[in-house]
A and B are shown apart, each in its own frame.
Chain A
Amino acid sequence: MTTTVEAAPLDVAALRKEFPILHQESHGKRLVYLDSASSSQRPRAVLDAMDHYYETTHANVHRGVYAIAEEATRQFEMARRAVGRFINAPRPEVEVLFTKNATEALNLLAHSYGRHLLRKGKAILLTELEHHANLVPWLMLAAERQVELRYLPVGDDYRLDLSDLDRLTDGVGLVAVSAMSNVLGTINDLGPIVEAAHAAGAVVAADASQLVPHRSVDVSALGVDFLAFTGHKMLGPTGIGVLWGREELLDAMPPFLGGGEMIRDVRLDGFTPNDLPWKFEAGTPPIAEAVGLHGAIRFLESLGMDRIAAHETELTSRAIELLSERHGPELKIFGPGVDPQGRGGVLSLALGDIHAHDLAQVLDSEGICVRAGHHCAKPLMRRLGVTATARASFYVYNSEDDIEALSDALDVAAAFFG
């Protein structure tokens, strides 16, 4: 892609026509979808790609010698390469593993790397703002193997506090950190973390579930060793996630799940695992989902990741300005202020002392979809001193009209519970 930030802004009105689900009413109001950080919607191109696959060439992959099975295999492996190119993986054909979602990708890492390659006595460094998907697999490992877990704290500026980074990385064997917070919208500066971790001889895994859909991500530039993300947050289908890892690390890691596809040979007294990437893909993989994800990547690339980032930055800045101006100190936004580089389109909100569930209920009655709750980040919620927030998040199909609608609905909630 050669698009730049200076390129024409996204034509949101035209873009919205591509998303069938957005053209409906909810409770008699225009449906305003502000929950893409939880799961995005998908364009017709993705739905069509999956339908076309099922209607023309579905068969199991890497098994049949007949024409449609070969075509299914070809499409599945093309999707893998497209995913790899999308994150600038050096060797897409072996380094991109398809999983069920980002959660499974991180569990794969905790099981395979954590249980077999993490050297004895080495600690794991996480952060206070992780999603449970990047916490619980490590907590399970720690409970089983008595591994020490450490945490980078979150500062009052809603950013990771790196002041103690050198001490915290000393004696660490693995660092697992979110690339962007699903609660705060904070885009973490991974550079210093990667540098300190590598200096300490540790590998670095990034949970990029929130970043890959919204920004151009280059694993080589980031310098990380593993990257996990999921299809359904980036206009793709549910049921497919990705773990990218450096070839030499993946090569050294034992398989995670056992079954078909992941083996080269099975005897009654043992087995020999398959080559990368299939070593980590037991059972029939999400084939149509891979085709759909490929469609989503084509769609995102046709828009240009830099234009998407510019659109969301503009929208987020506008939202922070407008909401702050119209709702004043009654509205609290948990997250960094306007910041094009270090902040994504996720706004965690609290309005007065209205509980997040009540707020989301009133917003729903106005046709607005937001997420209410702890966002699968309970330690972070404790750090923020709240049990729940209402979260609005933006994507390519959101416009300033959606922010206006959100603001109007916040007024309705304030009046209702006032």
Chain B
Amino acid sequence: MAGLEDLYREIILDHYRSPRNRGELPVPPAHRVEGFNPLCGDEVVVYLEVDDGTLVDLRISGQGCSISQSSASMMSATVKGRPVEEARKLIRSFKAMMSIREHSLSGEDAGDDAEAEGEVETIKPEDLGELAALQGVVKFPVRIKCATLSWNALAQGLDEIAAGVCSGE
């Protein structure tokens, strides 16, 4: 049975206690996007600034549990300064890491997941650095949404920037 230490790895608690890239950015030039978890009331606000195809700056605000907050902090530390395409690949990879186990929980064959991933390239969990610490979350299905909250907001923000949508305050 999954224990608390599977969920609350030391690195996760570290990011929770000392969140990286916490704060806001002026809008514009930054883009602001909100993520809500209607089940628990957690909210995350992601400010991102893209310049010439690179995610040059990123800040996180909002409030939530240790999983949602540490995942947002780790995400910010990982994607900041990266080209947008790399950030997108990280988002796909992170969500794949979260969803593979989700499917296996519902009894589906892992092979289906590989097929569903299709041609899209993802990074293996073991190559995701400290983000891999969040793998334990998949053993606690109700917490998966906590971990993916900020990643979904980031994906939405990148989509909106690509589509030329302006975010209001």
Q: Which residues of B in the span 43-84 have a Cβ within 8 Å of any Cβ on A?
A: 43, 63-67
Q: Which residues of A in the span 347-371 have a Cβ within 8 Å of any Cβ on B?
A: 355-358, 361-362, 365
**Taking the complex as formed, is A378 at the interface, i.e. its CB lies under 8 A from any CB of chain B?**
yes
- With both chains docked as a complex, state the minimum distance between the C-beta of A382 and any C-beta of chain B, in angstroms: 10
Q: In the complex, what residue of chain B is closest to A412 when comparing beta carbons?
A: B4
- With both chains docked as a complex, state the minimum distance between the C-beta of B156 and any C-beta of chain A, in angstroms: 21
Contact indicator B63/A416 (Cβ below 8 Å): no
- With both chains docked as a complex, state the minimum distance between the C-beta of B135 and any C-beta of chain A, in angstroms: 17
- Docked CA distance A417–B16 (Å): 10
| A357: contacting residue among B3, B43, B143, CB under 8 A | B143
Contact indicator B65/A373 (Cβ below 8 Å): no
- With both chains docked as a complex, state the minimum distance between the C-beta of A43 and any C-beta of chain B, in angstroms: 28
- Docked CA distance A388–B64 (Å): 9
- Docked CA distance A362–B41 (Å): 19
The size of the chain B interface, using a CB distance under 8 A, is 19
| B40: contacting residue among A28, A362, A388, CB under 8 A | A388
Q: With a CB–CB cut-off of 8 A, which chain B residues contact A358? A: 8, 65-67
Q: Which residues of B in the span 1-58 have a Cβ within 8 Å of any Cβ on A?
A: 1, 3-4, 7-8, 13, 39-43
**Taking the complex as formed, is B87 at the interface, i.e. its CB lies under 8 A from any CB of chain A?**
no
| B66: contacting residue among A355, A365, A378, CB under 8 A | A355
Contact indicator A365/B65 (Cβ below 8 Å): no
Q: Quick one: given A355-B65, A355-B66, A387-B63, are A361 and B40 in contact (CB under 8 Å)?
A: no
Q: Which residues of A in the span 361-399 have a Cβ within 8 Å of any Cβ on B?
A: 361-362, 365, 372-374, 378, 381, 387-388
**Taking the complex as formed, is A318 at the interface, i.e. its CB lies under 8 A from any CB of chain B?**
no
The size of the chain A interface, using a CB distance under 8 A, is 18
Q: With a CB–CB cut-off of 8 A, which chain B residues contact A357? A: 40, 42, 65, 67, 143, 146
Q: With a CB–CB cut-off of 8 A, which chain B residues contact A388? A: 40-42
Contact indicator B41/A387 (Cβ below 8 Å): yes
Q: With a CB–CB cut-off of 8 A, which chain A residues contact B43? A: 387
**Taking the complex as formed, is A264 at the interface, i.e. its CB lies under 8 A from any CB of chain B?**
no
- With both chains docked as a complex, state the minimum distance between the C-beta of B67 and any C-beta of chain A, in angstroms: 8
Contact indicator A381/B41 (Cβ below 8 Å): yes
Q: With a CB–CB cut-off of 8 A, which chain B residues contact A378? A: 41
**Taking the complex as formed, is A27 at the interface, i.e. its CB lies under 8 A from any CB of chain B?**
yes
- Docked CA distance A417–B41 (Å): 21
| A361: contacting residue among B1, B64, B140, CB under 8 A | B140
Contact indicator A365/B4 (Cβ below 8 Å): yes
Contact indicator A373/B4 (Cβ below 8 Å): no
- With both chains docked as a complex, state the minimum distance between the C-beta of B11 and any C-beta of chain A, in angstroms: 15
Q: In the complex, what residue of chain B is closest to A355 when comparing beta carbons?
A: B65
Contact indicator B7/A361 (Cβ below 8 Å): yes
Contact indicator B4/A361 (Cβ below 8 Å): yes
- Docked CA distance A73–B149 (Å): 50
- Docked CA distance A28–B1 (Å): 10
> Which of B42, B63, B143 has the most chain A CB within a 10 Å cutoff?
B42
A109-147 to B contact mask, C-beta < 8 Å, 1/0: 000000000000000000000000000000000000000
- Docked CA distance A365–B140 (Å): 12
- Docked CA distance A388–B63 (Å): 10
- Docked CA distance A417–B7 (Å): 13
Contact indicator A27/B1 (Cβ below 8 Å): yes
Q: With a CB–CB cut-off of 8 A, which chain A residues contact B64? A: 355, 387
Q: With a CB–CB cut-off of 8 A, which chain B residues contact A27? A: 1
Q: Quick one: given A357-B65, A358-B65, are A372 and B40 in contact (CB under 8 Å)?
A: yes
Q: With a CB–CB cut-off of 8 A, which chain A residues contact B41? A: 373-374, 378, 381, 387-388
| B4: contacting residue among A372, A374, A416, CB under 8 A | A416
Q: With a CB–CB cut-off of 8 A, which chain B residues contact A356? A: 40, 65
- Docked CA distance A28–B2 (Å): 12
Q: Quick one: given A355-B65, A355-B66, A357-B65, are A387 and B42 in contact (CB under 8 Å)?
A: yes
Q: In the complex, what residue of chain A is closest to B7 when comparing beta carbons?
A: A361
Contact indicator B146/A362 (Cβ below 8 Å): no
Q: In the complex, what residue of chain B is closest to A374 when comparing beta carbons?
A: B41
Contact indicator B40/A374 (Cβ below 8 Å): yes
Q: Quick one: given A355-B65, A355-B66, A387-B63, are A362 and B42 in contact (CB under 8 Å)?
A: no
- With both chains docked as a complex, state the minimum distance between the C-beta of A81 and any C-beta of chain B, in angstroms: 39
Q: In the complex, what residue of chain A is closest to B62 when comparing beta carbons?
A: A387
> Can you show 11 pairs from A to B with CB atoms below 8 A apart?
A355-B64, A357-B42, A357-B67, A361-B4, A361-B140, A373-B39, A374-B40, A378-B41, A387-B40, A387-B64, A417-B66
Known contacts A378-B41, A387-B40, then 18 further A-B pairs from the complex at CB < 8 Å, ordered by chain A residue: A355-B64, A357-B40, A357-B42, A357-B67, A357-B143, A358-B65, A361-B4, A361-B140, A365-B3, A365-B4, A373-B40, A374-B40, A387-B41, A387-B43, A388-B41, A416-B4, A417-B13, A417-B66
Enumerate the 5 nearest inter-chain pairs by beta-carbon distance, A residue then B residue, closest first.
A355-B65, A387-B41, A357-B65, A374-B41, A373-B40
